């Protein structure tokens, strides 16, 4: 089973079909068969983009789709969390404000440069025209802690931190009157959660906090837009099951004194029958199990991924 795999997603070269889905009069989803999603909120007088795509050139396609439905200015870009593949396209929108949680701002300060180099090395296809990314980091211009409410005319838009999960800075965007939620990578659908910077023991409770809002529609970080309460429940339950089962397996193995490699192989074998068909399963599992092993043993907070650490980890687990 453990034939040598090409590092991370470097073998992933197939272009994906773009979908632009209208959820309500105010909410749209830009999705691409398991590639990172972008959310769009259209208020009375302006537009908000949630997660930007990986480069300004890629963001231009999002803008093209937005312009098919509205000519209102794009005033806001909201970062659901900090990962380069989510934020480096921000400059294309020329927004008045780039909004993120203070925790996300702190992550950019702590590890932004290393994360940028690491992710570009992992996902070459997802960084089309990477030379179009401006030098330096994508810095928020407005941060918040816990909750912030924006009024886009008469449309109420809530930015909420409901708990740690995918990262410590996770933000969801909630339209309470329309009951639409943009989850970032806290929720995935038919796509494997990346958990290299996760808090496994917090993540299930954070998903319960999302469920408590009773969203009727949800845009996940990856996968198709969820357009009914039943689909939303399936997305929440699937993500919760994956992170819970993975961490439980890793915790048992590590408590028995097994090596990271042994725990990885056992956990991969356990999860593959149920989740192996999900997008980027092979890519995510080494990063996910490594982080879970860290959390179960001696590192409550995620360690910084560098391009060098990526390769070292991959050789250890897949070499």
7-26: average pLDDT: 80
Compare 53 and 319 and report the one with higher pLDDT: 53
- Residue 5: inside a domain: no
CATH of the domain at 149: 3.60.15.10
Beta strands 172-175 and 74-78 are unpaired
Count the domains in the chain: 1
The answer, as to whether pTM is greater than 0.85, is yes
Q: So what's the pLDDT on residue 3?
A: 45
Instruction: For residue 152, give its domain range.
Output: 19-318
319 confidence band (pLDDT: 50, 70, 90): confident
Would you say residue 284 has pLDDT above 80? yes
Residues 248, 266: Cα–Cα separation, whole Å: 12
Tokens 């409770």 belong to 205
**Average pLDDT over every residue of 226-235:** 98
Q: Quote the distance between the C-alpha of residue 157 and its chain's center.
A: 20
Q: Is residue 270 part of a domain?
A: yes
Residue 4 pLDDT exceeds 50 = yes
With tokens 């999302």, the residue in question is 210
Tokens of 295: 């959390």
Q: For 30-68, what is each residue's pLDDT tens digit?
A: 999 889 999 999 999 999 999 999 999 999 999 999 999
Segment 196-225 shows an average pLDDT of 98
Give the separation between CA 13 and CA 172, rounded to whole angstroms: 30
Would residue 6 count as lying in a domain? no
Q: What is the pLDDT of residue 1?
A: 42
- What mean pLDDT value characterizes the chain? 95
Looking at residue 2, its pLDDT comes to 44
pLDDT of residue 13: 57
User: C-alpha distances in angstroms, 117 versus 99, 223, 289?
Assistant: 23, 25, 21
| pLDDT mean over 273-298 | 97
In a domain, 29, yes or no: yes
Residue 90 located in a structural domain: yes
Residue 234: both structure tokens together:
């399936």
């Amino acid at each position: 089973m453990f034939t040598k795999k090409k590092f991370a997603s470097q073998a992933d070269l197939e272009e994906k079909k773009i979908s632009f889905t209208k959820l309500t009069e105010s909410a749209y989803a830009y999705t691409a068969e398991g590639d990172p999603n972008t959310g769009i909120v259209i208020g009375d007088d302006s537009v908000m983009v949630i997660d930007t795509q990986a480069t300004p050139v890629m963001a231009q396609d999002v803008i093209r789709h937005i312009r098919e439905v509205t000519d209102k200015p794009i005033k806001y870009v909201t970062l659901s969390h900090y990962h380069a593949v989510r934020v480096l396209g921000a400059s294309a929108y020329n927004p008045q404000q780039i909004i993120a949680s203070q925790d996300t701002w702190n992550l950019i300060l702590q590890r932004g440069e290393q994360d940028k180099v690491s992710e570009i090395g992992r996902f070459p296809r997802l960084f089309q025209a990477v030379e179009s990314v401006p030098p330096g980091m994508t810095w928020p211009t407005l941060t918040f802690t816990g909750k912030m409410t924006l009024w886009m005319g008469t449309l109420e838009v809530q930015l909420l931190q409901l708990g740690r999960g995918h990262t410590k800075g996770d933000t969801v965007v909630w339209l309470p009157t329309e009951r639409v939620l943009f989850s970032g990578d806290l929720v995935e659908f038919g796509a494997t959660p990346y958990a290299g910077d996760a808090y496994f023991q917090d993540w299930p409770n954070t998903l319960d906090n999302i469920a408590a809002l009773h969203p009727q529609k949800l845009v996940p970080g990856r996968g198709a837009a969820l357009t009914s309460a039943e689909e939303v429940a399936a997305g929440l339950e699937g993500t919760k099951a994956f992170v819970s089962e993975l961490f439980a397996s890793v915790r048992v193995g590590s408590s028995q004194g097994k090596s990271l490699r042994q725990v990885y192989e056992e956990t991969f074998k356990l999860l593959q029958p149920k989740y192996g068909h999900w997008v980027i399963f092979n890519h995510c599992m080494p990063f996910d199990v490594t982080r879970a092993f860290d959390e179960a043993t001696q590192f409550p907070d995620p360690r910084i991924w560098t391009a060098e650490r990526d390769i070292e980890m991959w050789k250890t687990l897949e070499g």
